[in-house]
Amino acid sequence: MTLWTAIGGGLLAGGLALAWWRVRSLTNKVEQWTRRQYYDQSNMLDTVRRQSDTLAILREHLAQVAAGNAPDPALVRAGWLYRQVSAEEAGRMVSSRPPETNGHLVIVDVRSRKEFLAGHVPGARHVPLEDLETRGLGEVPRDAGAVLVYCAQGERSRLACDFLSRQGWTNLIAMHDGFQQWTGPVDGTGKAALIQIHPADKGDVDGGEAGGMDS
């Protein structure tokens, strides 16, 4: 290998290394720019969603005013459609304002029938979330002093209050941490009620009658 060949090879290797470094640097910059664009777009979409939600809440409050109702000023200032309380605070509320007393406080359980039968807040009305649209008008009073809505963990009660508030209810309170945090008195069986099916006895079979079912 001649000197010039060695020099040429070294220059070629150096040029390739420099080109690779430049490509790598450019790739990193493109990746950083792409990530920054993604984060900026995500933040912008999040801001748009928050503004849309705020505007929707404001429209609901204005609709209530136009209908002759008086929204709670605290809710208007906070940008909420309904109050939210913890299970502990809900317990104090129930103990100081027994449900169904002069219509001051109504409690609504939006869980499933199985959950309700296993245990529920004493005096609660059972209106499952999936039945709220058809039964809400008749079973959740608009003129009660307050309507306390709860579920197991807080998500279904939030959805229920979102729905009812957009239908004109202004007296809603959601128990945001759900029945799982409830420490007050409980009514119910402590377990889900089951239908017991017994095999038919010999007399029934011989007599041509079907096996019995206890309802």
- What percent of the chain has pLDDT above 70? 62
Is the pLDDT higher at 168 or at 196?
A: 168
Identity of the amino acid at 112: S
pLDDT tens-digit map of 30-65: 888 777 777 777 666 655 555 565 566 666 666 666
pLDDT tens-digit map of 106-136: 999 999 999 999 999 999 999 999 999 988 7
Is the pLDDT higher at 187 or at 4?
A: 187
Residues 6+ apart with CB under 8 A from 3: none
pLDDT tens-digit map of 198-213: 444 444 444 443 343 3
Query: Whole-model pTM?
Result: 0.60
Residues 6+ apart with CB under 8 A from 157: 110, 149, 150, 151, 174, 175, 176, 178
What pLDDT, on a 0 to 100 scale, did the predictor assign at position 194? 40
Where do the structural domains in the chain lie, given as residue ranges?
1-70, 81-181
Cβ 81 vs Cβ 75: under 8 Å:
yes
pLDDT mean over 170-177:
93
pLDDT mean over 63-80:
70
Q: Which CATH architecture has domain 81-181?
A: 3-Layer(aba) Sandwich (3.40)
Q: How far apart (Å, rounded) are the C-alpha atoms in residues 23 and 20?
A: 5
Q: How far apart (Å, rounded) are the C-alpha atoms in residues 58 and 38?
A: 30
Could you tell me the end-to-end alpha-carbon distance of the chain, in angstroms, rounded to an integer? Answer: 100
